Chain A
Amino acid sequence: GEDVEQSLFLSVREGDSSVINCTYTDSSSTYLYWYKQEPGAGLQLLTYIFSNMDMKQDQRLTVLLNKKDKHLSLRIADTQTGDSAIYFCAETNIHGGATNKLIFGTGTLLAVQP
């Protein structure tokens, strides 16, 4: 079945760039997502990329997709302490336009040191 994997933990210093990586197995994934979860809160949709794209940039966030290697990354520029959270990678395979279920990774805990 489909699987999404992430490293469990990343520690960076404030002001540095963070890169969170994700690999997936479903070669027919159509959308790939990054979600952010702060303590005690729900998952917040940060950004997504369609599978025919290589890169998407949104302010401090850059998503890179290597479809050949089934590798997705999220780069956060100028990381702030407020970026400390768990980041989930997820993928879906949309059939016939219907929103299908997401397959989530285990999440990466990003700790930003002041």
Chain B
Amino acid sequence: DARVTQTPRDKVTEMGQEVTMRCQPILGHNTVFWYRQTMMQGLELLAYFRNRAPLDDSGMPKDRFSAEMPDATLATLKIQPSEPRDSAVYFCASGFDGVGQYFGPGTRLTVL
């Protein structure tokens, strides 16, 4: 049963610290998406990649967020420095040239 995996599942950190979230897309999927979900803003698209190349990162605060795909099996989202307003659940999703995106379980980030 192929699934998107994300680590860590929960992260509590202090303001100013660096946070790195990792995602392993489903093997064979060529598109990876990063989302953020909060009660106030709902689901927001931060960035996405196709064949490891960034296609759109306009939803991401550029000064502190960065997203990369070092290889086809790993996508990372970094926040440096983190702020309390970054507290949210961050989801990774993957897809293939076709139908649907498949979501991971999310990383719940709390910045104190």
Contact = CB atoms under 8 A, between A and B. Distances in A.
B103 A99 contact: no
Interface in B57-112: 91, 93, 95-106
A102 B45 CA distance: 9
A65 to B, nearest CB: 15
A16 B29 CA distance: 38
A58 to B, nearest CB: 13
Interface in A36-85: 41-45, 48
**Residue from B33, B48, B99, B104 with most neighbouring chain A CB atoms (10 Å):** B99
**Residue from A41, A101, A104 with most neighbouring chain B CB atoms (10 Å):** A101
B91 A42 contact: yes
B42 interface: yes
A104 B42 contact: yes
Main secondary structure of the interface of B (DSSP, over half): strand
Interface residues of B, number: 24
A104 B95 contact: no
Contacts, number: 49
**Residue from A31, A42, A43, A98 with most neighbouring chain B CB atoms (10 Å):** A42
A41 B50 contact: no
Interface string A85-114: 000100000000111011010110000000
Interface string B29-62: 0110100000000110100101000001000000
Nearest to A50: B99
A33 interface: yes
**Residue from A41, A44, A99 with most neighbouring chain B CB atoms (10 Å):** A99
A106 B105 contact: no
Interface in A1-56: 31, 33, 35, 41-45, 48
5 contacts: A41-B106, A43-B91, A43-B103, A98-B97, A104-B43
Given A98-B50, A99-B31, 5 more contacts: A35-B103, A42-B103, A42-B104, A98-B97, A102-B45
- 9 nearest A-B pairs in the assembled complex, by CB-CB distance: A42-B103, A43-B103, A99-B95, A99-B31, A42-B105, A104-B43, A45-B100, A97-B97, A42-B106
